[in-house]
Amino acid sequence: MGVDGLWSLVNPVGKQVNLECCKGKRIAVDLSAWVVQCSTVARNIPTAFICCRGLFMRTLNLLSLGISLVFVIDGPSAPAIKKKVKNREVFYREVMEFKELLTALGLPVLECVGEAEKMCAQLNHLNLVDGVLTNDGDALIYGAQTVYKGLFQDSKNLTATEYNMADVTANLNLTRRDLIAFALLSAGDFSDGVPNVRDKKFAELIKEFKKNNIEDALDRFLSWSSNSELDSLDNKKQSLIGIKKKHCTKCSHEGTKQGHNKSGCTCCQVDFDCNESSSPGHPPCSCEYHVLEETVKAYKTELKLRELALKSNANFPDQAIIAEFLGPLPIELTSVNLSLNIPDFKTVCRVLKKKLHFSDANTMSFLVPATIKMAFHGLLPDLTIRPMCIIRACKYKFEQCFLVRWQKFDQDEFSDDESFYEIKFSQEVFTLKYPEIVDQFEGTSTHAVKQNSAKLAQSKMTSYFNTVKLDKPHK
């Protein structure tokens, strides 16, 4: 679920990106969130089947782009403060079933003590990964610097919305502690929040804080229940009720228009009549009500939200929620091995035969191209790949490609009998890595074209027609 309204709050800095730009990056993935996302598209299909297939295909798609993945699993027990925890242990066991597949694909899979997005965020915060792939905005509150949201919503394109915490701070003037403050006010996994408070009202509050030189929203919240300055302002606010007297409709000062016509207006500094309130340099009203209101006005939004917050929870803000977002994990992440390994073809084939009823050849038809592209992009430095030749130029998904023949892996006993693979590659990408093979192909192609042209030039005109012998007509 995450914090209600958080994406709306940071939406102005979201950037639509194609995941191809993440080549060479390492990204943390909340596996539990992926499983939930895959299960929602299942219609008359067993959930375990659709989740396994979706997980396998999504993973290979990203690995093929040269993106290194680190999967994180929610722990079997949710934080004590989390609301609406349903069958967490059952769900944990279901998600753990996919760990064998991901490990066989050579990917690191980490188990978290609590929330997966917390570990993902801290991996990013420690610069162990370059970003977090999730639809849960809690990742930003937990400390993630870059979050990719909305991937796989468009089946045709690998696009996502990128949110950078640096942009949130620079353009929206919001820090991570401000986002924690928002989480305390809004409904989410850990709190019901304060009624009727969402992103727009919070943005007003932050704007008011900045005008009043209040830099840390979270520190300010922590003082709400015992802040004597705010208590005094609140008392002044309450005293405004019932003390306002009639004011002139012309100059907006205390009195009436009729009275000012006869006796003038003290604020306008005239002995008869008064000035229009819209006139340049018009002085504000100095009556008791407006003087008092002016002192309260600068804190209007804060006083209102403080009243609502303390009414909904006398102990606001909840210290346990703050500790959950700011507290460290009980694990030393810098010592965790996040490198990728060469896929275990045998185990992957066995798992997919059991879960998806894939034949070995079918599994390898997906796995081999992804493995070659992983090695091509440098994700598998221990795996040697050998392109044999380019078969032909072609198009795939509107992109100019080469159909390339590759030498078969020594450890591949599961593909069809051929001693090679034929895989489509972007012409631009392949040329950068293997220019000599491209030159050889283009030279061969040019020579073949010239030979064909020469043959056409030497052909007789009659070669293009069929000669038909007609019978002589009868006389």
pLDDT above 60: residue 452: no
Q: How many residues does the chain have?
A: 475
State residue 41's pLDDT score.
64
| Same fold: 6-188 with 384-442 | no
- pLDDT over 90 percentage in the chain: 64
> How does pLDDT run across 14-73, given as a tens digit for each residue?
999 998 899 999 999 999 888 888 777 656 566 788 899 999 999 999 999 999 999 999
CATH ID of 6-188, from 3.30.565.10, 3.90.79.10, 3.40.50.1010, 3.50.30.10: 3.40.50.1010
pLDDT tens for each residue of 127-154: 999 999 999 889 999 999 999 998 876 6
- Residue 143: closest CA among 122, 114, 158: 122
Task: Give Cα 414 to chain centroid, integer Å.
Answer: 37
Q: What is the mean pLDDT of the chain?
A: 88
Other CB atoms within 10 Å distance of the CB of residue 92: 17
Which amino acid is present at 187?
A
**Dihedrals phi, psi of 373, to nearest 5 degrees:** -70, -35
Domain assignments of the chain as residue spans, ordered by start: 6-188, 225-315, 384-442
Are 403 and 441 in contact by the 8 Å Cβ rule? The answer is no
Question: What six digits make up the tokens of 154?
Answer: 């468009």
Cβ-proximal residues to 119 (8 Å cutoff; 6+ apart), any chain: 28, 72, 110, 112, 329, 331, 333
Per-residue pLDDT band for 447 (boundaries 50, 70, 90) equals very low
Across 290-318, average pLDDT: 92
162 phi/psi in degrees, rounded to 5? -100, 130
- Are residues 109 and 29 in contact, defined by beta-carbon separation less than 8 angstroms? no
**Top-ranked range on mean pLDDT: pick from 23-37, 265-279, 339-353:** 339-353
The dihedral through the CA atoms of 231, 232, 237, 239 has a sign that is positive
Q: Which residue has the higher pLDDT, 40 or 339?
A: 339
Write phi, then psi, for 425 (nearest 5 degrees).
Answer: -135, 145
Encoded tokens for 404: 């390339």
384-442 CATH: 2.40.50
**Predicted model pTM:** 0.84
